[in-house]
Each structure stands twice: as C-alpha cells, then as structure tokens.
Amino acid sequence: MLDQAMVLRFKAPSSFTGEDVVEIHCHGGIAVIDAILDAVHQIDIQSSIRPAARGEFTRRAYAAGKLGLTQVEGLADLLLASTQIQRRQAVSILSGALERRYDSWRNQLTSLRAAAEASVDFADDIEGDVDFYQILEPTLTKAKALRNDILASLEKGNIGMAVRNGIHIVLAGPPNAGKSSLLNKIAQRPAAIVTDTAGTTRDILQLDLTLAGFPVSLYDTAGLRTKTNDPIEEEGIRRAHDALLHAHLICYILDASCMHHEHPFHILHQENKNTELIFIANKCDLLPNDNPNLILQRGRAYIQDTFPSSPFFQNATWISTIATEQDGIDHLLTFLESYVQRRFSHSSNEPPAIVRQRHQRHVLACLDHLNQAIRDFPYAPELGAEGLRLAAFELGRVVGIIDVEDVLDSLFSTFCIGK
C-alpha cells in the first residue's frame, strides 16, 4: 500500500479540459508523491506520461473551447488577486462577461458590414445617380452609436487596468519636504532612510497597501530640483520623472514653513488626462503664527496665478498635514481612500471592457478603422465595408480568434504547474 488517497474521475466532455481526467488526492509528503508517480510510470507501457507544463490544463481547456481567451486571462488574474475588488473583477471576466461584450461588438460590426455590402449591390440595379448617404443613413447611424459605445468603454479602461495592476500614487516634491517621513508613517515602519540632509532619497521606494479595497502602490521619489552636481542624485531625479509619467495621482509635498521658495512645478505638468494632482503642505507644526488654512489659500492662489490655463494645476486639491503626527496621516489616508473610490469605483456589475494593455491596443485600432469606415461610407461604401471588416478583425484578436499563440505563450508562463 502506498497511501490512503481519494481518486476522482471526470468524464469527458464535462471536465475542466473537456477530456477524461483522473485526479489523485493523496497526502502531501514528498515520499508519498514520489511513490505514486513511480507506480503510475510503471503501468505506463508507452511512456506517454509526463509532467504538465505551466498552465497546460487551462491551455487544453482553451483548445477544447471550454474557455475563451479573455476567460483564461480572468483565471490568471484570479490566481494573482490580492484584494477583494481584484477578485470580483477576475471572477466576472472568468464567467465570460468580457467575452460577451466583445462578441456583441463584433456581431454588430458584421451586421453593419453585411448591410453596407447589400446596399452597394442594391445600388447597381438603380438607374442614374445614387445617393449612397441616403441609402446608408441607417447603417451610418448604427455605426456611430456603436462607436460611441466603444469610446465610452475606452474612457473607462483606466479603471480596469488600475484594479488589475494597482493604483500608482507618487510622492514628489523638493528635497527635505518630508516625503520619506510621510511614507514611513503610512507604512508604520522605517521603510525609507530619513535624515536632515537634503537629497537623502536617491532611488524609488515602493510601498504596497490596500485603500478602500483597491490595490495601491505608493512611491517615494528623490527630491526634485532643477540643478544638481551629483550624478547619483541626477539619476534619482530622472527616475522620479519616469514615476510621475505613470502616476494616477501625484502628491506634491511642500514644506509649509518655506513655501515661498522656488519649486520646479513645471516638472509636474502632465499631458496624461488621467493623472490628478494634490498639494500637501507638510510640517505645519513649524509655522510660527500663520494657520494651515491661510497657507493653503496662499499656495492655491499662487498656483492659479502661475498656471491660469492649465486644468491639471487649476483642479488640484490642497491639504495640510504633519508627517510626524498620526492625526495628520489619518487625514491624508482618508483623503486618499475617498480619491480611489471616486476615481476607480464603477456601479455596473459588468467588468470594464479594457483590463490589459493589449485590449486597449486592439480597441484603439478598431476605433481607427470604424472612424475611417464612417468617413468613407458617403463616398466609397465598399471602402467603408472594408473598414468594418478590419475593425471586427481587431476585436477578434482580443477574444483569441486571430493571432493567439504568442498571447497564450506569454499568458501561460505566469501559471502554476497545477493549472
């Protein structure tokens, strides 16, 4: 006897992979597992048994049509989910919600293309000049409605990707403003080195936490200044710039006791409309007479006068804090929690249509072809029909109908052996 175990048989096509499957549930000791594997190999006359590759069972399920490509991605996300919001999004994708959304769009594009081609064929039987705009007006109306639907989903794409990859909040500001002290207080441990010497932080420090159920990565960066003779500090500032470019929220921290000093605010300017900015007046306990509210009013007025035509700066929020006191940190965390809830919560039970960068890439290409088709219809309906075909082709790449092998290889490399 090798062990006391439970053996389960899953009969095709009702198993996970769609094949006949046997599972042996044994005790987990290495000696037990080795003995069972040796026994299995002894009865394998043709030597066809081998260890499974990463994600092989899921790949077989995909090949058997048990799962679509976005469902496989949902399963991958579920295996890596660290928060309940990530879990809910992954389960919804695994259930096929994303697959159904893309299939609906593809079916609409196919119907529009069929209508356009039928209109062209119909026009061949008409004598005299043909007003294609009038003939294709119903098709154009539906194409524009579909475009608006896809555009609305694209605008919400940052929500799905942020939930999956984490929300990036960057602490930026001049040297010695208290960024690292703030990070340490939030982490409740000395995650960053803190000294009175300006420019102590050279590299980017990352703190992962959960705010309002959302995964958040908080980054402490090197102090920003326009000039430095230190090549190491210069590299730290360059890395801080890179972090700012990928931030969802920039927390610019100022020393409230010397806010009149020159600040490189121009470095903060973002072309990315998805980035928001808050100014944090730190070290308010060092103010001799002025109260924090007056300091915030002065700072807000200065920024509004300096950048009058920039919504990025004009819409910035101002708050005050003391990095060494828990009350100030609690106030900041409450603000950050309200920010992530406002920015990344969505009321629908359906997941956002875009959860990965490859989704975004193909949806943007789909929109390009759809827009070109709408422009072509009144003058060259046959070109419009071709544009619809290309738009549907891009969505087919999302759901795995076209060009799927490279995506699968990359995807399954993240799976464990047992999946």
CB contact set of 52 (below 8 Å; sequence gap of 6+): 417, 418
**Average pLDDT of 310-314?**
85
Q: Decide if pLDDT at 217 tops 90.
A: yes
**Average pLDDT of 316-345?**
84
Quote the CATH superfamily of domain 107-161+353-400: tRNA modification GTPase MnmE domain 2 (1.20.120.430)
Whole-Å CA distances, 323 to 61, 166, 249, 318: 52, 24, 19, 15
Report the predicted TM-score, pTM, of the whole model to 2 decimal places.
0.80
CB neighbours of residue 340 within 10 Å = 23
Q: What is the pLDDT of residue 5?
A: 92
* CATH 1.10.268.10 corresponds to the domain 163-344: no
CB contact set of 258 (below 8 Å; sequence gap of 6+): none
**107-161+353-400 and 163-344: identical CATH topology:** no
Going by pLDDT thresholds of 50, 70 and 90, the confidence category of residue 157 is confident
Going by pLDDT thresholds of 50, 70 and 90, the confidence category of residue 362 is very high
What percent of the chain shows pLDDT beyond 90? Answer: 36
Lowest mean pLDDT among 34-43, 61-70, 240-249, 285-294: 285-294
| Dihedral angle sign, alpha carbons of residues 99, 57, 74, 84 | positive
Q: Decide if pLDDT at 401 tops 90.
A: no
Segments making up each domain of the chain, as ranges: 1-50, 107-161+353-400, 163-344
CB neighbours of residue 395 within 10 Å = 26
Going by pLDDT thresholds of 50, 70 and 90, the confidence category of residue 312 is confident
